[in-house]
Chains A and B, each alone.
Chain A
Amino acid sequence: MKNLHISTTVNGDQTEFVCAPDETLLDVLRNRLGLTGAKEGCGTGDCGACSVTLNGRLVCACLVLGAEADGAEIGTVEGLATGDHLHPLQSNFIEHAALQCGVCTPGILVAAKALLEKNPNPTDTEIRYWLAGNLCRCTGYDKIIKAVQIAAAEMRNA
C-alpha cells in the first residue's frame, strides 16, 4: 500500500504528513507529528485517553484514520493553552486535584472542553454522562466533575 500525503490543520497550524492508508490518526499524531499528549489506553475506543476533536466533533483518535484528517481541523490537548495562559479547565484540574497519574487527563480535558462548548452550564449528571467514555482509574471521578463545574462557572463569568 502506498502512503498518502495529507494536508490538515492541527491546533490551528497548517500541517502536512504522509501516512499509510490503514494508519490511525492517533499513530500519526504520536509517531509522525510528535504530539504524544493523546494516549493509547486501549486502541478500541473504550477508554477515551486519545480523545481529540475532528472539525469540532469529539472523537477517539484511535478509531479515526490519519487519512481522514485531510482538509480537516484537528484539536488536541497540546492546543488547549494559549501561549503561557492555561485554559480554565487546565488550571482548575491542577487547582482542584482532578488528576493523579494524569494519563487520562489529556483526553478528559479535550472531552470536557467539547462539552462546555455545547453546554456552558451542565449539571453534574450531564458532565458524568458526557465523560462516561473517558476512563479514569485513579480519582473515582469526584474531583474531575467538581473541577469541570468550577471551570464552567469561571468561563461563564469571563
Chain B
Amino acid sequence: MALDSEKKQVFKVVGTRPARPDGIDKVTGRAMYGADATAPGMLVGRILRSPHAHAIIRSIDTSAAEALKGVKAVVTSADFGAPEDESIRDVQDNCMARGKALYHGHAVAAVAANSAVVASQALKLIKVDYQILPHVTDVDEAMRPGAPVVQADRAFENVAAGFSENVTSQCEFGHGDLEAGFAKADKVIERSFTTAATHQGYIEPHACLASMTPDGKGDLWCCTQGQFHVRTVCAEIMGMDASQLRVTASEIGGGFGGKTTVFIEPVALALSRKSGRPVKIVMTRDEVFKATGPTVSSSMDVKIGMTKDGRITAAQARLRYQAGAFPSETVTYGAQSAFAAYDLKAVETIGWNVLTNRPKEAAYRAPGAPMAIYAVESVVDELCQELSLDPLDVRLKNAADKGTKSSYGPTFEAIGLRATLEAAKAHPHYTAPLGVNQGRGLSCGFWFNFGGNTCVSLNINTDGTVGITEGNPDIGGSRASISQMAAEELGIPYEKVRTIIADTNSLGYNDVTDGSRVTFSVGLATIEAARNAIKVMCGRVAKIWGIDEDAVIWEDGCAKPSGPNAGSFDPMSIEEIAAISANTGGPIAGHFEVNADGAGVSFGVHLADVEVDPETGATKVVRYTVFQDAGKAVHPDYVEGQMQGGAVQGIGWALNEEYIYGKNGLLQNPGFLDYRIPVASDLPDIETVILEIPNPGHPYGVRGVGETPIVPPLAALSNAVSRAIGRRMFELPMSPPKLLKAMSQKR
C-alpha cells in the first residue's frame, strides 16, 4: 500500500470528542441488541448440554421431545453435514457434539418450541445414552503421556516427542546464541508461572434470530463482531451459497474477542430450516460460561539473564497453553509477543497448544499475549529487585525501538515504547509515596495490531451530506471515529456524516472486528474512499469550469482552482456540487477495498499501586495509571475508554477471575456471583496518558488501541503485590486465599 510520505499534522475534526451517533439509542433503551429482535411466528430455541466432562454419545432418543405438543423441531449432530474445512468442522462440532461430548456444557441436541416453557420441558424428554470417559482439564496433566486423549490424530508432525496426543502444535521463535548470552549475565533467574482461564465476560449473552425459508434463503440477526465471518461459517455448515444467507449484526453488548465465532447461529438456522419458522436462541449466563469464550489457561517457564547494570543478555520462555477441546493458534501469539518489548541479542520462545476437556477457547483481547508477558515482566521485576535496579530504567535500557529486530522476527518501524516508558518515569505517580502494606508494580504491554480485508462505501447525498456504509460492528465507538475521519478528509463538519454498519448483502467482505483493526483499517479505507469521492467531485467541477481536472483542488469542503494559472472561479462547495450531480454525471460516491497492511504495533506501560490486607489477603488497587501510544487518537475519549476498560479486565484477571473445575471435570463457577469480575467499588480512577507516535502505515498515523491495555495489568499487579507482601507470586489470580497462604509461608 502506498504510504503517505508526509503525515498529516494539523487536524480539525480528528482529535476532537464529538457525541457518538449511537449514544441516544443506548441511553434511552432504543438500541436493538441480539435478544431484542422478534419475527412473526417466532419459536424459542433451547440447547441441551452435556452434564459430563468427557463422554461418548452412544445414542440420542428425541422421540418423546418431538411428540410434545408445541415442539416444532429437534436437531442433533445428525442434522448437520460434514464440512471439508477442518476449522469450520471444529466450529460445527463445537456448536453440536458429534460422537463425543468433549466438555461440561457441550451442546448435544436442541429444540424449537412455541414457548420457552415447552422448550425447557422438551429438553428434559431427550434421552442421551452417555459412556463416561476419563477427563483432563489441567494443561500440565494433559501433556503427559498416558493422559486421557481429548481428540486423537490432531497433532502436527513438528511436535517434539515425549508428549501425549493432546499436544497439537508447537511453535518456536527467536534468534542469537542463548548459551553465550546466559554466560555473560551476572544474574540468571528462571521461574515457573500459571494463569487461570478467564472469560471475556461481555454483559450481553449470545443471541440470534434465524429465519430459513423452504426455497433455501436465510436471514440471520445476531450479536457478533463479524457478520461476514458468521455468514462464511454458517453458509458452509448449512450447505448454502453465501448470497442466500444475509447476516445482520445487531448492536453488540460487548465482545472482547468472544463474539468472533459462532456458538448458536448454526443451531438456530438448522432448527428454523426444520421447523419452517423463525427461531430465536438466547443463551443463559450459565451457558455463556460453560460453552463459550474463555481464554486459555497457561503454565509457563521463563529464564532471563541480566548484567549488574541492567542489560538483558539472554531470554528464554516455554509456554504451555490449553485452549480447550479443539486445536488453537493462540499460543503462537503468546510466543511471538512474550519478549516484544525488549531489544535482545539472544532470545528463544517455544510454545505448545494442548487439548483439554474444556470449552473451545475463543479470542480474548490480545489473545495469548497477557499471560506470556506476565511471566516475562515478573522475572524482569525480580531481577530488578535482586540487582537493586530501577524497573523503569531497566526497561528503558533494554527497550525495543525503531530498527530493533523483534524477538519474533520483523524489524520494528517507528514505535512508541520508549516514549511511554519516559512518560511513566516523568509522571508523579511513579515517585508518589506508598503507605503501609502497599506496593508499586509496573509492566510493559504489547500487541501486534492487524489490518485485513476492508470495504467501505461513501456516498455523497444530493444535499451534500455524507453516508458511509462499512462492515464492522462497532464495539468501541468506531462509528464516531470513522465519521470523524471522513469529515476531516472531506473538510465538512462531523454532524454532516452518518456511518452505518451494513448487512452481508450490502457490502463486500470485511474481516471480523478484531486485532484492534477497525479504526486503523476501516479508517484508512474511509479516507481513501473520501479521496476517491473528492476526485470525482473535482472532475465534475473541472468540466463545469472547462479546465483540466488536475487544476482543481479540494480544500475546506470546496473545489477550488489550484492557483491563478488555473483561472478565476468561485469555489464550489460540496453542497453545490451534490445539488447538481444529476446534471453532471449522476450520483457521486467513493469506494475503497483493501487487504490492509501497515497496522503499527502498539506498546503501553501500566503503573499500579496496591494495598494487601494482611488479615484477609484481599488486594485493593489504590492507584492506577495507563500510558499508551495511540499513533493518533481519533476520538481521545474512546481511546481512554479502551485503555481504562482493558486495564480493568486485566485487573480482574490478576486478582479474582478464574475458571474453577472440580475433580469431576465440571465447571464450578458458571455465574457472575462466583466468577467475580471487577465492580465499581473495587476500583480507583484509572488515569490515562495518551502518547501519539504516528504509525507510518496510516494516512493520519492511527494505531489500533483496543487490545494492548489488557496486557500489562497482570504483571503490574503481580509485581505490586509481590513487593507489597515481600514475597514473589507466581500464580494468577492472586485471590485472597492464595495471598494469605503466601504471607503465612513468609512468617
Q: Which residues of A approach B to under 8 Å, CB–CB?
A: 20, 30, 35-44, 46-47, 49, 76-78, 80-81, 86, 89-91, 93-97, 99-106, 109, 124-125, 127-129, 131-145
Any chain A CB within 8 A of the CB of B56?
A: no
A128 touches B28 (CB 8 A): no
- Tell me the chain B residues, 212-253 only, with Cβ under 8 Å from chain A: 251-253
- 19 pairs from A and B in contact (CB 8 Å cutoff): A30-B35, A39-B204, A39-B253, A40-B205, A46-B671, A49-B203, A86-B27, A90-B27, A91-B27, A93-B27, A94-B24, A97-B637, A103-B253, A104-B253, A125-B681, A132-B681, A134-B679, A134-B680, A137-B201
Given contacts A46-B672, A97-B641, contact A132 B680 (CB under 8 A): yes
CB-defined contacts of A142 to chain B, threshold 8 Å: 644, 683, 685-686
A37 touches B203 (CB 8 A): no
- A109 to B24 CA separation, bound complex (whole angstroms): 13
B285 touches A44 (CB 8 A): yes
Nearest neighbor of A38 in chain B, beta-carbon distance: B29
Nearest neighbor of A131 in chain B, beta-carbon distance: B680
Q: Pick from A76, A104, A137 the residue with the most CB of B within 10 Å.
A: A137
Chain B window 632-646, contacts with chain A (Cβ cutoff 8 Å), 1 for yes, 0 for no? 000001101100111
Given contacts A77-B28, A101-B252, A102-B26, contact A145 B680 (CB under 8 A): yes
A137 touches B202 (CB 8 A): yes
B27 touches A94 (CB 8 A): yes
B31 touches A44 (CB 8 A): no
B673 touches A138 (CB 8 A): no
- A132 to B682 CA separation, bound complex (whole angstroms): 8
Nearest neighbor of B650 in chain A, beta-carbon distance: A140
CB distance from A82 to the nearest CB of B (A): 12
B29 touches A97 (CB 8 A): no
Any chain A CB within 8 A of the CB of B523?
A: no
Given contacts A103-B254, A139-B645, contact A46 B673 (CB under 8 A): yes
Q: Pick from B253, B637, B685 the residue with the most CB of A within 10 Å.
A: B253
- A46 to B28 CA separation, bound complex (whole angstroms): 22
Partner pick for A77 among B24, B29, B640, B686, CB 8 A cutoff? B29
CB distance from B678 to the nearest CB of A (A): 8
A94 touches B20 (CB 8 A): yes
B202 touches A105 (CB 8 A): no
Query: How many pairs, one residue from A and one from B, have CB atoms within 8 Å of each other in the complex?
Result: 185
Q: Pick from A47, A140, A143 the residue with the most CB of B within 10 Å.
A: A140
A44 touches B680 (CB 8 A): no
B28 touches A102 (CB 8 A): no
Any chain A CB within 8 A of the CB of B36?
A: yes
Nearest neighbor of B28 in chain A, beta-carbon distance: A81
Any chain A CB within 8 A of the CB of B317?
A: no
CB-defined contacts of B645 to chain A, threshold 8 Å: 100, 137-140
Given contacts A78-B29, A94-B23, contact A137 B680 (CB under 8 A): no
Any chain A CB within 8 A of the CB of B731?
A: no
CB distance from A99 to the nearest CB of B (A): 6
CB distance from A156 to the nearest CB of B (A): 21
Q: Which residues of B approach A to under 8 Å, CB–CB?
A: 17, 19-20, 22-33, 35-36, 117, 200-205, 251-256, 282, 284-285, 475-477, 637-638, 640-641, 644-649, 671-673, 677-683, 685-686
- A135 to B26 CA separation, bound complex (whole angstroms): 16
Partner pick for A135 among B25, B203, B647, CB 8 A cutoff? B203
CB-defined contacts of B647 to chain A, threshold 8 Å: 140
- A136 to B254 CA separation, bound complex (whole angstroms): 9
CB distance from B42 to the nearest CB of A (A): 11
B680 touches A128 (CB 8 A): yes
B203 touches A103 (CB 8 A): yes
CB distance from B315 to the nearest CB of A (A): 31
CB distance from B16 to the nearest CB of A (A): 12
CB distance from B689 to the nearest CB of A (A): 14
CB-defined contacts of B285 to chain A, threshold 8 Å: 41-44, 46-47
Nearest neighbor of A99 in chain B, beta-carbon distance: B26
Closest 7 CB pairs of A and B: A37-B29, A103-B253, A102-B26, A140-B648, A94-B23, A140-B644, A46-B672
- A128 to B679 CA separation, bound complex (whole angstroms): 8
B28 touches A135 (CB 8 A): no
CB-defined contacts of A109 to chain B, threshold 8 Å: 27
Partner pick for A102 among B22, B255, B646, CB 8 A cutoff? B22
CB-defined contacts of B686 to chain A, threshold 8 Å: 140, 142
- A94 to B681 CA separation, bound complex (whole angstroms): 22
Partner pick for A128 among B477, B638, B649, B683, CB 8 A cutoff? B683
Given contacts A38-B29, A77-B28, A140-B648, contact A128 B681 (CB under 8 A): yes
A95 touches B683 (CB 8 A): no
